[in-house]
Structure 1
Amino acid sequence: MFKVAFDLEPERPGWPPVSVERLWGEKTDVRMEIKLVNTPFFARGIAFGDLVRVRPDHERRELVFEEFTAESGHSAIRIVFIGDAERSAVEARLREAGCSWESAGQFGSLVAVDIPPAVDYRELRSWLVGKVDAGSIEIQESALSQVHRRQLPS
């Protein structure tokens, strides 16, 4: 397993709250290519299982993301909970849909959600948007695979 550094550009003041996100990955048979094995919190355009090309940064002593090479079919979204009232219901719905998620202690209200290719994202998204409309969560679709984009209305 290797860590890959993703340098992040500020999207607005204070966001993302870090300048670098490091994700776990494993080598493939292609030189300098890594398969990601966790879901990003802040890096956009990548998801669990995606393939990325990396370069060694000898000064920083780490592998750094260079370019996206292939998608896995997984999608990544972020959910921010507005209070704790709906957290159990949202987590139960994600589990029922076949999704997994990661949370980080320092960002307690934020979860990074992996949506596998077999998940009906149209239905899940509709349910999540209802929670957004109710004011209990915010969502950000950070990487939607071709599989999930095809499920959404044009």
Structure 2
Amino acid sequence: MFKVAFDLNADASGWPPVSVERLWGEKTDVRFEIRVANTPFFVPGIAVGDLVRVRADHERRELVYEGFTAESGHSTVRIVFLRHDARDSVERRLRGAGCSWETTEGFKKLIAVDVPPDVAYEELRRWLLERIESGDIELQESAISATHRGQLSQFP
């Protein structure tokens, strides 16, 4: 396993709140190609299992993301809890759908969710959109795979 640095640029609102996110990755048979092994909190367009090109940055002494190679079929969504009492029901629904997620100390209201390819994303998404309407959560669909986009009748 290797850590890969993904350099980030903040938008006008200051998001994301970090300039670099480091993700775990596994070597593949292709030189300087890594398979992403965890769900990103801030890196856009990347999901678990995606293949990325990296380069060795000797000055920084780390591997740095250089480009996207191929998607895995997984998707990444991020959920911010607006109401503390919504967390249990959301996590229960995610678990029941077959998703996993990561949390981080610095952002206790945020979870980064891995949506595997076999999850019925249209049904899960409809439920999450209802949670947005009720004021329970905010949702960011960071990396929606072709597999999951194909399940949706409408996708922005």
Please state whether the residue corresponding to 2:84 is helix, strand or coil. Answer: coil
Please state whether the residue corresponding to 2:109 is helix, strand or coil. Answer: strand
In structure 1, distance between residues paired with 2:134 and 2:14:
26
In structure 2, distance between residues paired with 1:102 and 1:12:
26
Taking structure 2 as the reference length, what is the TM-score of the superposition?
0.97
Contact 2:53 2:66 (C-alpha < 8 Å) held by counterparts: yes
Q: CA RMSD in A?
A: 0.7
In structure 2, distance between residues paired with 1:11 and 1:97:
32
Number of residue equivalences: 154
AA in 2 matched with 1:75: S
Please state whether the residue corresponding to 1:96 is helix, strand or coil. Answer: helix
Regions of 4+ moved over 6 Å = none
Cα deviation, residue 83, structure 1: 2.5
AA in 2 matched with 1:54: V
Contact 2:98 2:115 (C-alpha < 8 Å) held by counterparts: yes
In structure 2, distance between residues paired with 1:126 and 1:93:
12
- Residue segments in structure 2 that go unaligned for 5+ positions in a row: none
In structure 2, distance between residues paired with 1:52 and 1:2:
13
In structure 2, distance between residues paired with 1:6 and 1:101:
19
Per-residue CA distance 1:35-76 (angstroms, 9 max, x = gap): 000000000011000000000111111000000000000000
Percentage of identical aligned residues: 66
Please state whether the residue corresponding to 1:107 is helix, strand or coil. Answer: coil
In structure 1, distance between residues paired with 2:99 and 2:107:
20
Aligned twin of 2:131: 131
- Residue segments in structure 1 that go unaligned for 5+ positions in a row: none
Cα deviation, residue 85, structure 1: 1.0
In structure 2, distance between residues paired with 1:125 and 1:9:
28
Cα deviation, residue 27, structure 1: 0.2
